[in-house]
Structure 1
Amino acid sequence: MRFPTRSKLLSSSDDSTIAVTRTRDWSLLSSIKAPKPNVYGRPSGDTAVFGGAPSGVNDFAIHPSMKLMISVSKGERSMRLWNLMTGKKAGVLNFERSLLQEVGEGKHSTGEGLKVVWGNVDGADEFAVGFSRDIVVFGMDSTPKCRVMPDAKTKIHKFEYLTLDDEEETTIIAVATEDGRIAFFSTAAEHLTKPTDEKAELSAARLIGQIGGKDDKVSGRIKEFSIVRSETDADLLYIIGGSSDGVVRLWTASRAELKKATEKPALSELIGKLVASYETQNRITCMAAYVMIPLPEGAEESEYEVDDSEDSEADSEDDGESI
Structure 2
Amino acid sequence: MAKRKLDGVDGVALPASTKRGKQDAGKPARQTSNSVKPVPIKSNGDAPKKENGTVQKKKPVVEDAVLESAVVQLGEDVDSATIQIITGSYERTLHGFTAVISRTIPEPRDAPELKDTSNEATEDDSTSKLNGKSKVADATNGTSSAITKKDPPSKDSKATLSFTDTFLFTAHTSSIRCLAVSPLKSASTPGSNTSQSVLLATGSADERINLYNLSTVPPNPSSIPKLPTLAGTSISENPRNRELGALLHHLSAVTCLAFPTRAKLLSAAGDNTIAITRTRDWTPLSTIRAPVPKAVGRPSGDTAAPGEVPAGVNDIAVHPSLKLMLSVGKGEKCMRLWNLVTGKKAGVLNFSRDLLAAAGEGRWDTGEGRKVEWDPAGEEYVVGFERGVVVFGMDSKPSALILPTPRTKLHQLHYLPSTASTTPILALSTEDGRILFYPTAAPTTSPSSSPAPDTSLPNKGPALDLPSLSPIATLGGALAGIAGRIRDFTILAPFINGPLFVVTGSSDGAVRIWGIQAGELEHSTDAKQVGTLLGTYETGARITCLTSFVMSGTAEEKGEEEQAVVGADALESSDSGEESKSD
Shift of 1:278: 1.4
Distance 2:346 2:561 in 1: 54
Question: Residue 298 and residue 219 in structure 1: after superposition, are their counterparts in 2 closer, same or farther (change >3 A)?
Answer: closer
Please give the TM-score of this superposition, normalised by the length of structure 2: 0.48
Please name the residue that 2:465 is paired with: 201
2:402 counterpart (131, 140, 148): 148
Q: Is the 8 A contact 1:223 1:243 kept in 2?
A: yes
Q: TM-score if structure 1 supplies the norm length?
A: 0.84
Deviation at 1:301, TM superposition (A): 7.8
Task: Within 5 Å, give how 1:237-276 maps onto structure 2.
Answer: 237-258=500-521, 261-262=522-523, 264-265=524-525, 267-276=526-535
For residues 111-130 of structure 1, the C-alpha deviation after alignment (integer angstroms, 9 at most, x for no partner) is 0001100015xx77000000
Q: How does 1:26-37 map to 2 (within 5 A)?
A: 26-37=282-293
Aligned to 2:482: 218
Residues 77 and 270 of structure 1: is their aligned pair in 2 closer, same or farther, counting only changes over 3 Å? same
Show the 5 A alignment for 1:1-40: 1-40=257-296
Q: What is the aligned counterpart of 1:72 among 306, 328, 342?
A: 328
Partner of 1:189: 442
524, 544, 557: which one aligns with 1:285? 544
Q: Please state whether the residue corresponding to 2:471 is helix, strand or coil.
A: strand
Structure 1 residues 303 and 117, CA, compared in 2 at 3 Å: closer, same or farther? Answer: same
Gaps of 5+ in 1: 305-323
Query: 2 CA distance for matches of 1:179 and 1:22?
Result: 39
1:66: Cα distance to partner?
0.4
Number of corresponding residues = 294
Structure 1 position 268, deviation (Å): 1.9
- How big is the shift at 1:50? 5.8
Q: Tell me by how many angstroms 1:296 deviates.
A: 7.0
- SS of aligned partner of 1:225: strand
Decide whether the 8 Å contact of 1:195 with 1:204 is kept in 2: no
Change (3 A) 1:133 1:82: same
Against the structure 1 CA distance between its residues 22 and 302, is the aligned structure 2 distance closer, same or farther, given a 3 Å change threshold?
A: closer
Structure 1 residues 208 and 19: alpha-carbon distance in aligned structure 2, compared to 1, 3 A threshold: same
Is this contact kept in 2: 1:165–1:255, CA < 8 A?
no
- The alignment-based identity, stated in percent, is 48
* Pair 136,119 (structure 1): closer, same or farther in 2 beyond 3 Å: same
The 8 Å contact of residues 260 and 322 in structure 2, kept in 1 or not, is answered as: yes
Match of 2:383 among 124, 129, 132: 129
Q: Which has the higher contact order (CA 8 A, sep 6+)?
A: 2
- Indicate whether 1:179 and 2:432 are aligned: yes
Match in the other structure for 1:110: 366
Q: Which amino acid aligns with 2:529?
A: L
In 2, are the aligned partners of 1:113 and 1:129 still within 8 Å (CA)?
yes
Distance 2:378 2:264 in 1: 26
**Greater strand percent: which structure?**
1
- 1:298 shift after superposition: 5.0
Aligned 8 A contact 1:72 1:78 in 2: yes
Distance in 2 (CA, whole Å) between partners of 1:31 and 1:49 is: 28
**Alignment partners' CA distance in 2, 1:296 and 1:83:** 43
Aligned-residue offset at 1:25: 1.2
3-state SS of paired residue (2:357): helix
Work out whether residues 425 and 437 of structure 2, in 8 Å CA contact, stay in contact via their aligned partners in 1.
yes
Instruction: Give runs of ≥4 in structure 1 deviating > 3 Å.
Output: 48-51, 163-166, 190-193, 197-200, 296-304
- Do the aligned partners of residues 54 and 253 (structure 1) sit closer, same or farther apart at CA in structure 2, a change above 3 Å counting? same
1:214/1:164 CA distance change after superposition, 3 Å: farther
User: Secondary structure at 1:60's aligned position in 2?
Assistant: strand
In 1, Cα distance between the equivalents of 2:342 and 2:272? Answer: 18
Matches of 2:379 and 2:370 in 1, distance apart? 20
From the CA coordinates, give the structure whose radius of gyration is larger: 2
Q: Secondary structure at the match of 2:447?
A: coil
Letter in 2 for 1:229: A
Mapped to 1, the partners of 2:561 and 2:326 lie a distance apart of 47
